Structure 1
Amino acid sequence: MHAVIRRYRVRLGTVEQAARYAEKWFVPLVRKLPGFVMYYLLDAGNDTLASIGLFESREGAESAAQLARDWFEDEWPSFRPLPPEVVVGEIVAQTAVDNRPLVDRRKPADRRVAALLVGADSWAGTERRGSSERRTRSDQRSGFSAQLELKAAG
């Protein structure tokens, strides 16, 4: 899989308008490219837009880079963008969210789900610490030795 990342600096106060314009006119074009997987356009702050396009092949990524270069030269002069920073490359590591629900063990309703996802062996659900409390070395050792004692007894 390959990616194209572009970063645009546009005229002051035009980010929202430029994003709507790109969504309406550019996104349908990029979807038609060979090997298209997904495309994101994000507000990066300070009158900057960034885009990330994912493609199955290098040719698709290079086609997207060329399409973006031509389209933005022709269609975005009213936003007066500076020449964008462009990166095209192969994705060398990736991860994705699996279908597990997001769980916050601190919420009573989520504790049962967390126990199912993590398993009863690895989480007993009894530890309660505030955000300002930090585990010390002695806490870690005593917790670890208690686990060893439980495993040895079981």
Structure 2
Amino acid sequence: MYKAVRTYTLLPGSSEEFLQRVQESFVPLISQLPGFIAYDTYRIGNDQVITISTFDTRAGAEESVLLALRWVQENSVELMQGLPRLIVGQMPTTSKPTHAPHAQQRQLEKALVLDLKFEVLHPSVLGKQAYTDPRVGEMVTAIRTFLTQMRADPARQDEVIYRFDRDIRPEEETKALYAADHVILIKRANSLVGYAEINRDTNAQLRRDRYEGDILVDPAAYQRDKEGHRVEKGIGEQALLEMRRQGRLLRIKDIELDVYLGNPPMHHFLDHLIATHRLPFTRQEMQYGRPLDSTYLLAC
């Protein structure tokens, strides 16, 4: 059996309200996941709640983590102080292992990355002062180095081209970050493994304002086995959930991600999320793009 442990830090005095919402709304959802066994909650002091969900597979426990992140965004974000701490682990067992026909397949299942941290900056609110702000400058330098390293690696450079729909010069491209509305740094073990942006776009062709989202995750951030196969997953999913959380905090209705025909990995990834209902995406034809270019709307 596997347990998914989530530690929530709440606004003082709101734990009772949070637990009531959990029992009324979240428990019926999580209990429908495949392999569900049990769900327990514990209140720690005045502002912390620990929830533990038990499943008979690791995949079920990890799916409950993504479900919980989304549920909190939609039902209790105003009660939270930041993101929950996440742990998924296997319970000790004294039973002998069984050699089921699907045992080999389970061994190849990827583990959900649980040690991500997000840092959000809002350069545009600083105006011209953003160009001399030390935190903004550090962010721009970090992303510039990140893009330069990826672009120089043949195994990773295509991801940069996919993100920008062309080859770029990182030192030139990152200048726009000083005026970006919202930049989300995706970190693992204090190293930058990706970043996302949310920018308000006054689009003359569409004759309306919109919020445009972009995301880039370094494939090298995932651990691999001796044969070079990826053994982890979930950085992109959690980064998009954080993008959505920021959108809700900003009272944005939708974040639009433009995905061009030349970026099949992102098409496949977002289509997969739509098919699995992990995120509320809808896909439509890009109104000002080329044939088969798409815009994915992430409902906040």
TM-score (norm 2): 0.30
Partner of 2:153: none
- May I ask how many residue pairs the two structures share in their alignment? 94
Between the aligned partners of 1:87 and 1:8, the Cα distance in structure 2 is 12
Is contact 2:3-2:91 (8 Å) kept? yes
2:16 corresponds to? 16
CA offsets, 1:106-153, max 9 Å, x none?
Answer: xxxxxxxxxxxxxxxxxxxxxxxxxxxxxxxxxxxxxxxxxxxxxxxx
| CA distance, structure 1, for counterparts of residue 68 and residue 11 of structure 2 | 18
Q: In structure 2, the residue corresponding to 1:20 is in which secondary structure? A: helix
Where does residue 116 of structure 1 map in the other structure?
A: none
Structure 1 residue 74, shift from structure 2 partner: 1.9
Q: Are 2:3 and 2:52, in contact at CA under 8 Å, matched by a contact in 1?
A: yes
| Matching residue of 1:41 | 41
Equivalent residue for 2:64? 64
Question: Which stretch shows the higher mean deviation, 11-20 or 69-78?
Answer: 69-78
Q: Secondary structure at the match of 1:82?
A: coil
Q: Following the alignment from structure 1 to structure 2, what is the Cα–Cα distance between the partners of residues 69 and 93?
A: 29
Measured against aligned partners, the alpha-carbon deviations of 1:35-83 in whole angstroms (never above 9, x if no partner) come to 0000001111131000011100011101111101111122112213321
Cα shift at 1:93: 4.7
Supply the distance in 1 between the matched residues of 2:51 and 2:77 (Cα, whole angstroms). Answer: 18
* Normalised TM-score (structure 1): 0.58
What is aligned with 1:7?
Answer: 7
Letter in 1 for 2:21: Y
Structure 1 spans left out of the alignment, 5+ residues? 95-154
Partner SS for 1:17:
helix
What does residue 30 of structure 1 align with? 30
Instruction: Kindly provide the amino acid, as one letter, of the partner of residue 62 in structure 1.
Output: E
Tell me what 1:86 maps to. 86
Distance 1:10 1:41 in 2: 14
Identify the structure with bigger relative contact order (alpha carbons < 8 Å, sequence gap 6+).
1
Task: Name the CA distance, whole Å, in 1 between partners of 2:58 and 2:71.
Answer: 20
Alignment root-mean-square deviation, CA: 1.3
**C-alpha distance in 1, partners of 2:53/2:64?**
8
Question: Which structure: greater strand fraction?
Answer: 2
3-state SS of paired residue (1:19) = helix
Matching residue of 1:149: none
2:8 and 2:80 in contact (8 A); partners too: no
Question: Between the two proteins, what is the percent identity of the paired residues?
Answer: 31
Please tell me whether Structure 1 or Structure 2 has the larger radius of gyration of its CA atoms. Answer: 1
Gaps of 5+ in 2: 95-300
Match of 2:50, as an amino acid? Answer: A
CA distance in 2, matches of 1:68, 1:46: 21
